[in-house]
Amino acid sequence: MTRRTLDAVDRQIVARLSEDARVSNRQIAADLGVTEGTVRARVKRMEEERQIRITAVTNIDRFRHGALAYIWIEVERSHQVEAVAQALASINELGFVGEMLGRSDLLVITMVRSNEHLAEFVHQRISGIPGVRRTESTLGVNFVKHDYRMARIVS
Amino acid sequence: MDTPGPRSEQAAGRLQAIDLDETDHGIIDLLRADGRLPYRSIARELGLTEATVRARVRRLEESRTMRVVAVTDIEAAGFGMLLAIGVQVENRSPEEVARELAAVPEVFSVNVVVGAQDIEILMVAEDQVALHRLLHERIATMPGVRRLTPALAVNVLKNQPDWVPFDRDGAA
């Protein structure tokens, strides 16, 4: 599925909304020198076509001293990748689920409290999924950057 | 697990953290689902006055607890490729290399890790040519970068991190 890419006006509107999406259409229109109707129609279209998603991002520490864990998953047989990916996507705690080429078959990312928590999470929630052959986890010690403006909008 | 550097910035941010009650969580949930929901609708939904909702949203924003933003789909933004790359470092601190990687706009997530790799990054590229240039001219030549071990995402089923720190490099 290939999505239409954003044009210059779309990008200007998105740049404004990336800073603060509670700003009014009228204000954006005034800043960009276009009509309010143009802004409203474009925001609506970009949302409907899933080019952008306007949402609250929070800085709540779900776990004090939480760390990001990268879990690489290998499947028994290659045809099982899709089914394992679907099962993983339904796990709420996972913020990223991707089918990969190269280092492993799948990558999932989650936030954990500790090494023990990571081991427990992998053991209880991932290893038992039919088709999972082995996992390899990496624990983050310093989360330097995550740009919320970049995402793959899938739902 | 605490290390000096950006961690301490995060710790400083934590000091300003506010206590959230049911009302705050209610507002955050509604704005997560639809960031453009009018104050009036939020007020009606939660049985509050519009003024209360406005004040609560302002408090959440000013305390850097929440921001309402547009998230752009990477494909719509013109990026056809998403990669997860392990970075091995030599002769330089991983923290320093991580900060330099974080300055590359296409690198949207940077995490210093322990294990076979020293840093894990998530990166986008417009196409193969752009990817090649980014990897070999920009990242591989960075001081301290020893080896890059990439994986290409062929299908992303989920990318909705809610752990996003927005008071850090590149995200503010």
Nearest CA in chain B to A63: B163
Whole-prediction pTM: 0.76
Q: Please check whether residues B97 and B48 belong to one and the same domain.
A: no
Residue A22 has pLDDT above 80, yes or no: yes
Residue B2 has pLDDT above 80, yes or no: no
Q: Please check whether residues B30 and B93 belong to one and the same domain.
A: no
Structural domain for B105, as ranges: 81-152
* Strands A67-75 and A132-146, bridge-based pairing: antiparallel
Per-residue pLDDT at A60: 52
Assigned token pair, B43: 């007020």
Q: Please check whether residues B109 and B141 belong to one and the same domain.
A: yes
Per-residue pLDDT at A59: 66
Q: Please check whether residues B88 and B148 belong to one and the same domain.
A: yes
Nearest CA in chain A to B35: A55
User: For the packed helices B39-46 and B50-62, what is the interaxial angle rounded to 10 degrees?
Assistant: 110
Residue B115 — pLDDT band, cuts 50, 70, 90? confident
Alpha-carbon distances of B152 from A86, B62, B98, rounded to whole Å = 18, 38, 20
Alpha-carbon distances of A70 from A95, A145, B91, B114, rounded to whole Å = 11, 15, 25, 11
Q: Please check whether residues B31 and B87 belong to one and the same domain.
A: no
In one-letter notation, the amino acid at residue B5 is: G
Q: Please check whether residues B36 and B92 belong to one and the same domain.
A: no
Per-residue pLDDT at A8: 93
Residue B134 has pLDDT above 60, yes or no: yes
The reply to whether B172 touches chain A by the CB within 8 Å rule is no
Residue B15 has pLDDT above 80, yes or no: no
Mean pLDDT of B76-97: 93
* Structural domain contains residue B97: yes
* Structural domain contains residue B164: no
Q: Please check whether residues B49 and B107 belong to one and the same domain.
A: no
CATH number for the domain harbouring residue B22? 1.10.10.10
* Structural domain contains residue B46: yes
Assigned token pair, A63: 């776990």
What are the backbone dihedrals phi and psi of residue B25, each rounded to the nearest 5 degrees, phi first? -65, -35
Residue B37 has pLDDT above 70, yes or no: yes
* Strands A132-146 and B107-114, bridge-based pairing: antiparallel
The answer to whether B31 contacts A56, with C-beta atoms less than 8 Å apart, is yes
Distance from CA of B35 to the nearest CA of A (A): 4
Among B146, B112, B90, which residue's Cα sits nearest to residue B5? B112
Residue A14 — pLDDT band, cuts 50, 70, 90? very high
Name the B residues in 109-168 with CB < 8 Å from any A CB: 109-117, 120, 122, 124, 149-168
Look at chain B and report how many structural domains it folds into: 2
Residue A64 has pLDDT above 70, yes or no: no
Mean pLDDT of A51-79: 81
Q: Please check whether residues B54 and B94 belong to one and the same domain.
A: no
Q: Please check whether residues B85 and B57 belong to one and the same domain.
A: no
Residue A44 has pLDDT above 90, yes or no: yes
* Structural domain contains residue B159: no
Assigned token pair, A13: 């509107």
* Structural domain contains residue B171: no
Per-residue pLDDT at B67: 85
* Structural domain contains residue B38: yes
Residue B172 has pLDDT above 80, yes or no: no
Q: Say how many Å lie between the first and final Cα of chain A, rounded.
A: 14
Q: Please check whether residues B85 and B52 belong to one and the same domain.
A: no
Mean pLDDT of A100-123: 92
Which of B6, B114, B163 minimises the CB distance to A95?
B163
Per-residue pLDDT at B51: 97
| DSSP string for residues in A20-58 | -TTS-HHHHHHHHTS-HHHHHHHHHHHHHTTSEEEEEEE
Q: Please check whether residues B40 and B97 belong to one and the same domain.
A: no
CATH number for the domain harbouring residue B89? 3.30.70.920
Domains and CATH numbers, chain A: 8-48 (1.10.10.10), 67-139 (3.30.70.920)
